[in-house]
Chains A and B, each alone.
Chain A
Amino acid sequence: MTKDSQGFLWEVFIQSKPGQPHRHCGSVHAHDKEMALQNARDVYTRRNEGTNIWVVRSEYIVSSSPEDIGPFFEPANDKIYRHPTFYSVPEGVTHM
């Protein structure tokens, strides 16, 4: 890393309210994890947008690749029996 480095790149995930999932909102630069959290707070929650923040070094994110979208998700394609509408129930049955 050169002297003039801007630090590592970190991805930022914010939970907007208790009980909600964390959502990706962007990235920040920081040299260590405390600084990454503080920078994420200053950059992405200036208006109380969050109750919790996750930061993770971008290089540690593993992602599926868009070219493989077909074959990669193929195993789920022919399993319509995983959906409730696959099953028939007699007329008049409720709460199911």
Chain B
Amino acid sequence: MENSEQERNFDAKLERNETIEPKDWMPDNYRKHLIRQISQHAHSEIVGMLPEGNWITRAPSLRRKMVLLAKVQDEGGHGLYLYSAAETLGITREELVSQLLTGKAKYSSIFNYPTLTWADIGAIGWLVDGAAIMNQVMLQRTSYGPYARAMVRICKEESFHQRQGYEIMMVLAKGSPEQKAMAQDAINRWWWPSLMMFGPTDEKSPNSANAIKWKIKRESNDQLRQKFVNQTVPQAEIIGLTVPDKDLVWNESKKGYDFGTPDWEEFYNVIAGNGPCNKDRLAARTKAHAEGAWVREAAQAFADKRKELEVI
């Protein structure tokens, strides 16, 4: 009886578009759903540092290197904002890290693709960050307060990421035939995985119904994917690159593009752990965590020592 009153209060809050805050009563499944989604989002930011980190030492100029460093540092920061939001739901940082390293928690499968050329850094900023922004702009109005506030902060910082990526592509597209070919090759490889970032189609998305009901998500996977295609295709045209989709055609009646179907078999295969870089990514995180152990121990020993001295 008491439970149902709490539930009614919770539903009424959602109805009034008020945010749910850490100490508010919430259904267990709402809490579980958020922990899964926010931690997966956080892990994606952290693992997302790896494909780009791969090019920091080989960036073609000092300006590009500075910018890429700042961007990768931002991704680390975004991971931390999100871990911080997830922790307000009652899970510890230690548990979150261990779920990533043991493979219990997922991260966005886009980061299991390799960055083969410098143009891939452009494609990631433009397409991958572009797709992420589409999702994150919506999440600024998500029903869980700490998650929504983290998103506002992240969205402010992300737009530089997308612009710097687009600029890399633009410069390559205006360069020598080889450079232009490199840019086109990058969009060819990153286009479909970027569309897959929005998740399975609405009818195949297991978590979507609850997410919409609880106002965690306010637009469906397919709606967001359509918006992304509509806004990105003209951006490609302006710099003279082609989106690798033979079924792409403007549909005047819906004021949007019709487009082809991503290879969902590939999507599920990469999620299942069989992408080109799944093993490398987890190995890199595990190595970083293990090699940082002595720093955490030393920091704790130092803090304990200082505390002793303060008492005396």
Contact = CB atoms under 8 A, between A and B. Distances in A.
Interface of A: 1-7, 9, 25-32, 35, 42-43, 46-47, 63, 65-67
B302 interface: yes
Nearest to B73: A46
B299 A35 contact: yes
Interface of B: 21, 23-25, 70, 73-74, 77, 80-81, 84-85, 87, 92-94, 97, 146, 149-150, 153, 157, 293, 296-297, 299-300, 302-303, 306
Q: Which 5 A-B pairs have the closest CB atoms?
A: A32-B303, A31-B299, A31-B303, A6-B93, A27-B84
A4 B87 contact: no
Contacts of B23: 63, 65-66
Contacts of A42: 77
A3 B293 contact: yes
A28 B74 contact: no
A6 B97 contact: yes
A43 B248 CA distance: 41
Interface of B: prevailing SS? helix
Nearest to B299: A31
A66 B77 contact: no
B157 A47 contact: yes
A88 B24 CA distance: 41
Contacts of A46: 70, 73-74, 77, 157
Contacts of B73: 46
Contacts of A63: 23
B299 A4 contact: no
A33 to B, nearest CB: 9
Contacts of B299: 7, 30-32, 35
Contacts of A67: 25
B179 to A, nearest CB: 31
